[in-house]
Structure 1
Amino acid sequence: MEGQVVEEQKKSTSSYRYWVRETTVEAAPLPVPRKLSAQDLATQPQSAPLGSLWNKAGTWEEKNLSAWASNRIKELLNCLDTQELEFASGNAKILEVSSCIGEASMVTVRNKKRIGYSYEISLRFQGKWLINEGMKEINGSLKIPEASFGDLEDMQLEVTLDDRIIPDSERSKIIKDLKSFLSPIQAKLLKFEEELKDR
């Protein structure tokens, strides 16, 4: 019996309490809701939503830009046909974009715009090289296995020569020269990324 009394006294003198509401201190009154008038609404600043009009909260919205992006990449890279690169033993220029396969999209999440794209691009080139003391016309293709948003610095360029008769020693020099097209292609794709951001 005495042990019970001591235990009850310990419980009553314990400083730990889960929740205590003080009745002596007056709490602030709860806010009273009121209906906003047309004038109140007109004076509040309105930020335009990034996405569609129906998505004023700026929640998830995805917009497919693949058709526009494919056409725009082709336009920008076809402009390289006027740019002829000169090398120590030859020259070359882009003839056309033979394929541009991939997708591009813009996603609006929490009223923030995010863009992305991933493309595989092939271009045809034509050039002339000094091979065995004579100028020889060379044709082939340049392939970008993956061009994607934010990774242009790591982009690779694969070169394929149509002519199989070129000696291996000359072939490696020509391929090395043709990889110089990587820089102007990156510049055009960087311009494409800027345009994609503004869509």
Structure 2
Amino acid sequence: MAKWGEGDPRWIVEERPDATNVNNWHWTEKNASPWSQERIKELFNDLSVNTAEANIKITEVEKLEGEASANNRKGKLIFFYEWDIVLKWGGKLNSGSDKEFSGKIKVPNLSEENDISELDIQISVKDEDQEGSKLKQIMLKLGKELVRAQLAKYISGLKEEFSKGMILPKKRKINMEPVANSEKKQTGLKIDTTNIKQTLKFQCTAQEFYDALTRIEMVTAFTRGHVKLDPVKGGKFELFGGNIVGKFDELVPAKKIVKQWRYKQWPEGHYSTSDHTEVTLEQIGVPRGEADVTKDNWQRYYWDAIKQAFGFGAFFT
């Protein structure tokens, strides 16, 4: 496996005719605060808390103070965000009186330094009588988790939206020599193959992961190079300067991607099939001499790159 920072040049295409921000050396920054404010307000506008015991809604964002930005330094995306949030909620018990209760939800420090699962979320109710206390307990149990889920959507959306155009292809020569133990063979000859299976977990929805592999701007962000991509059945793709090519056999949004996949150094005309189902990779027909380096490159140039580009790194149960 290539050392971090060296990379496997057979998978990398890096050429910029305009020489803009060559090798992504300069710090570039985008202001994500206005977008963040709109997105957070949208996520908490008239949001129902799913419970049979009561009719509860998070009604609006009362307070939203802070800032957010996306930065690129030496080819690495860095996201900064820090928000102090106060939400309003209201509701009543289904088995109680018709009395309406209201309260607040405070999130004093939403930032990249704090794990979403460890956020300090404070719940209060205005009239804490017997019914009010019961509603508060429901909010402590279900409301907190709903707030975490919505804020996770904000964070993943922030990283998806502001990764666009932040990473520019670099300039580097490409070594097209095959790896050791790789044998060139004529089309039609039987070759020794093996299968690769990997199971991974990402902090994102199934749709977000599907988009990361089928939306050209997102594929460009994590491959950091020119991409050709036609995400329809029978559509072709070309990544890393033509070093990876293939076509889509099956596309089921947020569920499944099946594609014929070929590395340029493999025997001419030979493709493997990779099947992504709920972030499970099954790749059949990989030349045996290429199996280890192919597994390493999936990890480095797909999974690690996707996590770095879009912030899908941690998984929460």
Q: Normalization by structure 1: what TM-score?
A: 0.62
Q: 1:97 aligned to 2:61?
A: yes
| SS of equivalent to 2:21 | coil
SS at match of 1:134: coil
1:46 aligns with 2:20: no
Question: 1:86 aligned to 43, 51, 64, which one?
Answer: 51
**RMSD over equivalenced CA pairs, Å:** 2.7
Quick one: which amino acid aligns to residue 58 of structure 1?
N
Return the offset for 1:84: 3.9
Q: Secondary structure at the match of 1:83?
A: strand
Aligned to 2:306: none
Q: Secondary structure at 2:99's aligned position in 1? A: strand
- Are 1:182 and 2:144 counterparts? yes
Change in Cα spacing, 1:84 to 1:56, as seen in structure 2 (3 Å) is same
State the Cα distance separating 1:102 from its structure 2 match: 1.2
Call closer, same or farther: CA 1:170–1:47 in 2, change over 3 Å: farther
| Aligned 8 A contact 2:125 2:133 in 1 | no
Query: Shift in Å at residue 103 of structure 1?
Result: 1.0
Give the C-alpha shift of residue 134 in structure 1.
3.0
CA contact (8 A) 1:84 1:91 kept: yes
Larger radius of gyration: 1
- Could you say which residue in structure 2 is the equivalent of 1:26? none
**Structure 2 segments unaligned to the other structure (5+ residues):** 1-12, 163-317
Conserved? CA contact 1:121–1:145, under 8 Å: yes
Query: In 2, distance between residues paired with 1:58 and 1:171?
Result: 55
Q: Are residues 1:144 and 2:110 paired?
A: no
Distance 2:132 2:138 in 1: 10
Matched, 1:173 2:121: no
Which residue number in structure 2 is paired with residue 153 of structure 1?
Answer: 117
Shift of residue 82, structure 1, vs aligned partner: 4.6
What is the rounded CA distance, in whole Å, between the counterparts of 1:54 and 1:65 in structure 2? 22
Aligned residues: 145
User: Structure 1: how far apart are the matches of 2:119 and 2:89?
Assistant: 19
Where do 1:1-199 residues align within 5 Å?
Answer: 45-47=13-15, 54-59=20-25, 60-78=27-45, 81-86=46-51, 88=53, 90-129=54-93, 134-149=97-112, 151-163=115-127, 166-167=128-129, 171-179=132-140, 180-198=142-160, 199=162
Instruction: Tell whether the 8 Å contact from 1:130 to 1:136 is kept in structure 2 after alignment.
Output: no
**What is the rounded CA distance, in whole Å, between the counterparts of 1:95 and 1:47 in structure 2?**
50
Unaligned runs of 5+ in 1: 1-44
**TM-score (ref. length: structure 2):** 0.41
